[in-house]
Each structure stands twice: as C-alpha cells, then as structure tokens.
C-alpha cells in the first residue's frame, strides 16, 4: 500500500506513519517528491487494511499498489533513478557507455583496451574476473588477479569499474574492488545471490535472464531493492527465441516497456545479445534509438585471440565509429524528448498522473 501525505504534512506526521507501519511488523519506504511525500508499505503478503492509516494527521490518501514489484515500480517513485559515482552517471542526462573486455586475460590486454575506452570519453569500464562459462573446461577468469588489474584501470584512467559476481564469494570480492557489481543472465533468479547483492553497498547491474519475462526481471530487481540496495541498473542482453542467425534475440521493445513501469535505468548489451561483431553496431544504434540509458559493449585488442566471446568483440576502430554514431543518435532522441515532452525525459516516464502508472504494458504473471 502507498500512503500519500498531504503537501503540508510535517516531518513528525511522516514519522508517525512510519512508526505505525513498523509497529505492525512491516517495512516503510519513504519517498520525498517535489510536492509531497509518499510512504510505501513493503513486506505484506496479504492486502493491508487502510483504516488505521487514513485517519492519521497529514495523510491524504491510501492507495493499493497492485504491482508485485513495489520498490522497482513507478507507483512509489516517479522520478528516474540516477546512479552516480563521481562524474560518472547511468540514467542521467547523458547516455552511459560501459565498454571493455569480456574477460580480463592479461594486464596488457586490459590496459590497451582501457586506454581506448578512456580516450573516447567513456567513463565506465567492464571486464570479467569471474566468468560464468557454459563449459567447465573454458577459461573461467583470473579471479582476484583480474580484480587487481581492474583496480589499476581505475587508478590509471579514472574509469569506473563494472564486473560480474558469479556467486556469493565472488560478490564479497567484487564489492571490495569494483564500483558496480554485475549479476549475469544465468544468475538472474539466483535468489540468494540477489539478496546478497541487496546487502552490498555498491550499485548492481542486473542482466535479464535469457528466458525471463518482464515481470520476472523486475521481481529479480525487487529482490535486490527489498534488502535495502536501491542502486540497481537493468540490462537487456537478448533472449532465447527460434532465431538462429544470432546468439540471442535482442528484445528492444522491453526498453520502453521498462521505462514506463520502472524508475530504474535500463541499458542495452548489443554484444551478448547478438554474439556477432557485424551485428553489434547496428543493434547498438537501435538500442539507443529505442531510448536505452546506456550500452554495455565488448571490445578487444585482438578479438581473434580472445579467450572469451571473441566473435562479438569489436575492433578498436569499430568501437570508435560506434561511439560517434550512437552519440549522434542519442542527440536526436533527446531533441525528440525535449520537443514532445513537457518534462525532462518525458517519454521515459509514466507522466505525473498517478493513474497513468497503472496503464501501459502489463506483465503476464507466470507463477
């Protein structure tokens, strides 16, 4: 349930509502908007009786949140979430590009790549130290040695580091060394890992499960937020279909659908979703045109020798071209928003009317 306070509600009236929620054993999530404060009640399994709350001073109305994802949805928080680390942002005014190698293979390979990423003005570097591989015989990553190289990338180039945690032990280490913890597609419904990520004090980049519905994706993000970590970035990385011309099928329509349902930033990975270098740039252009808040891209100094995902890694010159192209497209998308939307990023929001957040893409529940 959502308790909407009157625009002149005092801090002590807000606290009284929070205390009342806690006294019945539930959690309160307070969101201070420009005009009013909204308090979400989280953790109930059954519908809550609004009467003990509706009569409290300062309460304007009590609304039921009908969506199963309470913290992820726009009912509770209408403003977009922006992830900020120093100057680097995801979900803000500028499109974020997270680029780097699939796997950290060596210091030389990583530094050569990081130099190019920094030169193109990107602020985020990706690289796997722990790799979730289909075959147990494939290269599994350099583990801590890889994390140390990533840490050196941050020190040398000022890039912010995104790296994947494949399990809870890896997450402890990634939390120590990285800026953003990635949860991969194969772990999107690893609920104990999601809970652990929710206890981390670093933002989490959650990749969509390759066979997951939109609702399952948003509920996976809810797992992280329910533990108290509100810094979540969603990533579309392609889903399994009957198409066999690419590794996966990029589901670009999920980008505007998510932007209507959730305040979380949604980025797009054209590399893993296609698996083929020739297809990465066209899909990157399309993802930005669809309104993605950023891209996650694999590049490599010598893709033909890469130990992981070489066929999808862009050569450096391809990457430089891609950056120019997607920046030009991003400007057009922004101009469109400015001329059609009243508010900043208007076509990513469900508008200012609360009832609008209840229409739009519906998720089919598959329990």
Q: How far is the CB of 80 from Mn ion (least distance, A)?
A: 28
If the CB atoms of residues 216 and 347 are measured against ligand PEP, the closer one turns out to be 216
Q: Are 76 and 262 in contact (CB under 8 A)?
A: no
Angle at 314 between CA 312 and CA 315, to 5 degrees: 140
Q: Which residues pair with 5 in a beta bridge?
A: 59
Stretch that binds Mn ion, among 106-114, 187-195, 307-315, 327-335 (CB under 5 A): 307-315
Q: How far is the CB of 198 from ligand PEP (least distance, A)?
A: 19
Q: Mask 241-280, x = binds Mn ion (CB under 5 A)?
A: ----------------------------------------
Q: Which two tokens stand for residue 103?
A: 């796997």
Residue whose CB is nearest to ligand PEP in the complex, by number: 184
Q: How far is the CB of 134 from Mn ion (least distance, A)?
A: 11
SS3 92: coil
Q: Mask 29-68, x = binds ligand PEP (CB under 6 A)?
A: ----------------------------------------
Q: How far is the CB of 16 from ligand PEP (least distance, A)?
A: 45
Cα 131 to Cα 365: distance, rounded to the nearest angstrom: 31
Q: Judged by CB under 5 A, which of 89, 179, 309, 330 binds Mn ion? A: 309
List the alpha helices (DSSP H) in 143-199.
144-157, 168-177, 191-199
Q: Are 38 and 49 in contact (CB under 8 A)?
A: no
Angle at 107 between CA 203 and CA 206, to 5 degrees: 20
Number of chain residues interacting with ligand PEP (CB under 6 A):
10
Given the structure tokens 């797009």, which residue do they identify?
A: 268
Pairing mode, strands 180-183 and 160-164 = parallel
Q: Mask 142-181, x = binds ligand PEP (CB under 6 A)?
A: ----------------------x-----------------
- Return the half-sphere exposure (C-beta side, CA atoms, 13 A cut-off) of residue 300: 22
Q: Measuring CA to CA, how many Å separate 47 from each of 23, 41, 68, 69, 364?
A: 17, 10, 12, 14, 20
Stretch that binds Mn ion, among 47-55, 102-110, 194-202, 251-259 (CB under 5 A): 102-110
229-288 binders of ligand PEP (CB under 6 A):
237, 272
Q: How many residues are recorded in the chain?
A: 367
Q: Which residues have a Cβ under 8 Å from the Cβ of 165 and sit 6 or more positions away?
A: 130, 171, 173, 174, 175, 181, 182, 183, 193, 197
Q: How far is the CB of 102 from ligand PEP (least distance, A)?
A: 5
If the CB atoms of residues 102 and 264 are measured against ligand PEP, the closer one turns out to be 102
176-235 binders of ligand PEP (CB under 6 A):
184-186, 207
Pairing mode, strands 27-32 and 59-63 = unpaired
21 belongs to the binding site for Mn ion (CB under 5 A): no
Q: Mask 113-132, x = binds ligand PEP (CB under 6 A)?
A: ---------------x---x
List residues near Mn ion by CB under 5 A.
102, 309
List residues near ligand PEP by CB under 6 A.
102, 128, 132, 164, 184-186, 207, 237, 272
């Amino acid at each position: 349930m959502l308790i909407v306070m009157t625009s002149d509600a005092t801090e002590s009236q807000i606290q009284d509502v929070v205390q009342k929620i806690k006294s019945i054993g539930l959690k309160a999530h307070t969101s201070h908007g420009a005009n009013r404060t909204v308090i979400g009640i989280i953790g109930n399994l059954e519908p809550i009786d609004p009467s003990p709350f509706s009569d409290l001073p300062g309460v304007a109305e009590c609304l039921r949140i009908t969506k199963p994802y309470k913290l992820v949805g726009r009912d509770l928080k209408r403003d977009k979430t922006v992830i900020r680390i120093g100057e680097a942002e995801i979900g803000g005014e500028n499109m974020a590009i997270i680029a780097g190698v699939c796997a950290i293979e060596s210091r030389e390979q990583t530094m050569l790549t990081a130099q190019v990423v920094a030169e193109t003005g990107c602020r985020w570097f990706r690289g796997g130290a722990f790799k979730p591989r289909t075959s147990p015989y494939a290269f599994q990553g350099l583990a801590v040695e890889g994390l140390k190289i990533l840490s050196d990338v941050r020190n040398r180039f000022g890039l912010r580091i995104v790296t994947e945690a494949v399990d809870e032990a890896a997450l402890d280490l990634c939390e120590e060394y990285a800026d953003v913890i990635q949860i991969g597609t194969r772990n999107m419904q690893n609920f104990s890992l999601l809970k652990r990520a929710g206890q981390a004090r670093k933002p989490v980049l959650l990749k969509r499960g390759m066979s997951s519905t939109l609702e399952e994706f948003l509920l996976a993000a809810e797992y992280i937020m329910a533990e108290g970590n509100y810094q979540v970035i969603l990533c579309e990385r392609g889903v399994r279909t009957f198409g066999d011309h690419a590794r996966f099928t990029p589901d670009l329509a999920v980008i505007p659908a998510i932007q209507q349902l959730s305040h979380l930033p949604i980025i797009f990975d054209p590399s893993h979703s296609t698996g083929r270098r020739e297809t990465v740039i066209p899909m990157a252009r399309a993802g930005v045109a669809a309104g993605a808040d950023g891209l996650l891209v694999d590049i490599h100094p010598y893709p033909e020798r890469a130990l992981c995902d070489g066929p999808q890694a862009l050569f450096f010159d391809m990457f430089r071209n891609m950056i120019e192209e997607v920046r030009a497209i991003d400007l057009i998308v922004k101009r469109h928003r400015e001329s059609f939307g009243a508010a900043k990023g208007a076509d990513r929001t469900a508008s200012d009317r609360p009832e609008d957040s209840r229409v739009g893409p519906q998720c089919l529940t598959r329990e």
